[in-house]
Structure 1
Amino acid sequence: MDSKQLWDACLGELELTLTKANFTTWFKHTFILEYKEDALVIAVPNAFTKTWMENKYQQKILKSLQSITDAKIKQLSFKVAPLSKKEIVVVPVAKPETKPVAPEKTISKPALNPQSQQKPIQASAQSSYTTSYNSPQSRSIVGQGSALNPRYTFDTFVVGKKTELAYAACRAVSENPAKIYNPLFIYGGVGLGKTHLMQAVGNAIAQRTHEKRILYTPCETFTNEYIKSVTMGQADTFKNKYRSVDVLLIDDIQFLAGKEGTQEAFFHTFNFLHQNDKQIVISSDRPPKAIPTLEDRLISRFEWGMIVDVGVPDLETRIAILTTKCHEKNTSLEDDIIQYIATTVQNNIRELEGALNRVVAAMQLTNTKPTVDSVRGLLSSIVQAPKRG
């Protein structure tokens, strides 16, 4: 068995256990680079992928390889290498239960510059920074109401199991905009942190350099400004605003549904920015193919880069969020109170923070220490209300 056959068989097994998005994101452009005695080296396209594979998939890959071949593979490592380094390496004969390789058609269209190398993500202190787009300090052309929220940074985002992939992708984009994952498409339910992550990208880039022109805008604003430009005959002004930025962060793209003219305008804006190596980050409450009446050409472009979802936080993550928020507010609550709030509000981080604010406000106004019973009364409307996504 040669290295290509072995790796294809391994990918076939791995694909059965992973979502299409994860499989495509992490295993495209990978191959066996070296095989010496009991050690195997897997080539990956960039350093970010290397770090992620080492942390998340090393043991899973090793077990799969060991089940496929008679080779005594005990060590598995990863190395950044371009596809041009791909060579056929002879590996000992396979066992008969080798599974077929997954068809190539499952791989979606790659992002621009797939071979770009990305530095490993390292946790670093992020100071609070806001880009005031009307200030001389910033060279952005964006207008009123477009400033990033300084509270939305990577430091203030609590990472859970359902958000770690989206968080890692956003950090990677902020470290090297337009070089990896372009566009980056973030989707998930209401109040789960999409806007926080998107603006954290902008804040991190703005903190690193004032030379980048960053524009954050809700899709509704983009739509209204497009309509105004058509009505007032200001098409050039509209184009100049959105095509002269280095980073475009557009929130709630699902509002393009049914708006043919706005979709046309965004299509050309997207093409112009992408072709000129400008970073695009998009958020939505659903994946591209689930947005009704969205043109196929836009769907295909949204799938060029990376698609990540932000899921509902589990109990441990909700407790961590509440603990973090209490620290930000310079207040403390008993563990049983935090546990009750986290158990009561399950599907929405905004509602979770709103419930905490209600408890903290009542505690400060009445100057009393809250109990589980008093908190239950304060949050009775939330408990009795039907849960929303």
Structure 2
Amino acid sequence: MTPQDAWNAAYHQLELQLDRASFDTWLRSAVFLGYEAGIYLVGVPNGYARDMLQHRLYRNIRRVLSDVAGENCELRFEIYKGDVGEPEAPASDDMPLFKFMAQQPPAPAPEPKSLHQAVIPPQRPDLPESELNARYTIDRFIVNQSNSVVYEAALAVSDYPATVYNPFLIYGGVGLGKTHLLQSIAHRCAERGLKTVYIPSEVFTNDLIDAIRNRTTAMFRDKYRTVDVLLVDDIQFIAGKETTQEEFFHTFNALVNFNKQIVLASDRHPRELATLEDRLRSRFQGGLVADIQPPEYETRIAILQMWAQERGMELSSNVVDMIAHKAPNNVRELEGIFNQIAAQSRFSGGAVNFNNARETVERFRRPREHVQLDDIIQITADKHGLTIEELKGARRTGKINRARQIAMYIAREMTEYSLPQIGEAFGGRSHTTVLHGCNKINDELESDPILGNRIQKIMHSIRRGG
């Protein structure tokens, strides 16, 4: 079998194995150019296809080709024009940074060690989306007079994406439910089979940086330009970041032009984001901009009663009233206080005592800035018989991973540090890793009083300084 025959046979097998969209987009126009020193040279029409095939689909193509040829095969994808013509110029609609990258010489192909043993190009996983919280569903969002408009709009966007409000931007203060609503929309759209991506804006920036550094521009575009619904939380953080704004502008236009839904959340109205480019500000205000207000007293009562019912707790009316009055500003603070009291209830094995609940609330509301992440890591490691290096390192044994998740959970409960800041303190882990760990511990606390008791003892030691 000649190399041409092997490629033809592999090509037809790949047409059957890959999904239609991937094959048509990236491999349909590929042609066999030649065979040199054990490497199959394959021509593709542009840099996007080359990047995708070299970095994302390489293993699949190599495996099929090796099976057909009866030996380990390597491939190199090159831009071609016509049959074997000169390299094609970058496409005119490239985003600015990708234009620059297209002008750079391609990364050298790996040198084969021998005819049958070559260096496999490093594989990079798909760009990750942020994890959705299973509790952030639309049926758990308590509706009141002040947030009924934003709630109804969220329902409409979920049921009729890119039809009624596009873009849809929610703004309001910290802990009022913006993330809850965005993830509710994401859940409903994903359940309907729509390709849905929810991310904080920092993930978009980080993915862009990775795409530039790793030359995975096709993956970047494939992730953000082929979705049905894109939801971006904390969009205010792209203000002042010129490159991120430039690339988001093109992503925004591409999605809207293809009638795809965009949902955004911000802590302020777009007109108040002073360092946001005018062209983005005008686009953000081109759909529906809705604010979300702090929950009224009656709403806070309803939220507390829902949480108590979900956990099978008995809260007297005076305890519920006391909690509602102590956390008037946002739902996040309300939830923090409730979780502390719920933990107390599990430890005592019965109903919540009013005096104990009041003490818990007062302790929760004390300033927490004096608690440092280093102290949490040190004391949690000590309590589990581990070193700081083990807790922050790359090892993932069951014992270490469990202690690490507990420490992350405690850090989120006892400090005001953000998820990225906590992740950085734990060896540079991503905010999604921190969120996953915190959610896992939080879920287990509902049915594991022993775990809750252990965490309370660790937190008590942290407050005492060791």
Q: Same fold (TM over 0.5)?
A: yes
**1:180 partnered with 2:161:** no
Q: In structure 1, how many angstroms separate the alpha carbons of the residues matched to 2:154 and 2:129?
A: 23
Q: In structure 2, how many angstroms separate the alpha carbons of the residues matched to 1:166 and 1:215?
A: 20
Aligned 8 A contact 2:327 2:334 in 1: yes
Distance 1:281 1:345, change over 3 A: same
Compute the RMSD of aligned alpha carbons.
Answer: 1.8
Q: In structure 2, how many angstroms separate the alpha carbons of the residues matched to 1:307 and 1:381?
A: 38
Letter of the 1:380 partner, please give it: E
With structure 1 as the length reference, what TM-score do the two structures score?
0.60
**1:318 partnered with 2:300:** yes
Q: In structure 2, how many angstroms separate the alpha carbons of the residues matched to 1:293 and 1:230?
A: 24
Counterparts in 2 of 1:309-388, with a 5 A limit? 309-385=291-367
Distance 1:312 1:369, change over 3 A: same
Counterparts in 2 of 1:225-236, with a 5 A limit? 225-236=207-218
Higher helix proportion (structure 1 or 2): 2
> Counterpart of 2:138 in 1: which secondary structure?
coil
**1:243 partnered with 2:225:** yes
Q: In structure 1, how many angstroms separate the alpha carbons of the residues matched to 2:128 and 2:279?
A: 31
- Structure 1 gaps of 5+ residues are 1-140
Letter of the 2:324 partner, please give it: A
2:173 matched residue in structure 1: 189
The offset of 1:233, in angstroms, is: 2.3
**From 264, 267, 274, the counterpart of 2:256:** 274
Counterparts in 2 of 1:1-389, with a 5 A limit? 143-207=127-191, 209-210=192-193, 212-385=194-367
Aligned 8 A contact 1:149 1:199 in 2: yes
With structure 2 as the length reference, what TM-score do the two structures score?
0.51
Distance 1:194 1:201, change over 3 A: same
Q: In structure 2, how many angstroms separate the alpha carbons of the residues matched to 1:163 and 1:277?
A: 27
Distance 1:294 1:227, change over 3 A: same
Aligned 8 A contact 2:172 2:267 in 1: yes
Letter of the 1:322 partner, please give it: L
Letter of the 2:333 partner, please give it: E
Of structures 1 and 2, the one scoring higher in RCO (CA 8 A, sep 6+) is 1
The offset of 1:162, in angstroms, is: 2.1
Aligned 8 A contact 1:250 1:282 in 2: yes
Q: In structure 1, how many angstroms separate the alpha carbons of the residues matched to 2:338 and 2:170?
A: 26
Aligned 8 A contact 1:245 1:278 in 2: yes
The offset of 1:250, in angstroms, is: 0.6
Aligned 8 A contact 1:161 1:313 in 2: no
Letter of the 2:176 partner, please give it: L
Aligned 8 A contact 1:192 1:311 in 2: yes
Letter of the 1:163 partner, please give it: N
> Counterpart of 1:169 in 2: which secondary structure?
helix
Aligned 8 A contact 2:127 2:207 in 1: no
Q: In structure 2, how many angstroms separate the alpha carbons of the residues matched to 1:189 and 1:259?
A: 22
Aligned 8 A contact 1:345 1:382 in 2: no
Q: In structure 2, how many angstroms separate the alpha carbons of the residues matched to 1:337 and 1:189?
A: 26
Once the two structures are overlaid, the 10-residue window that deviates more, 373-382 or 165-174, is: 373-382
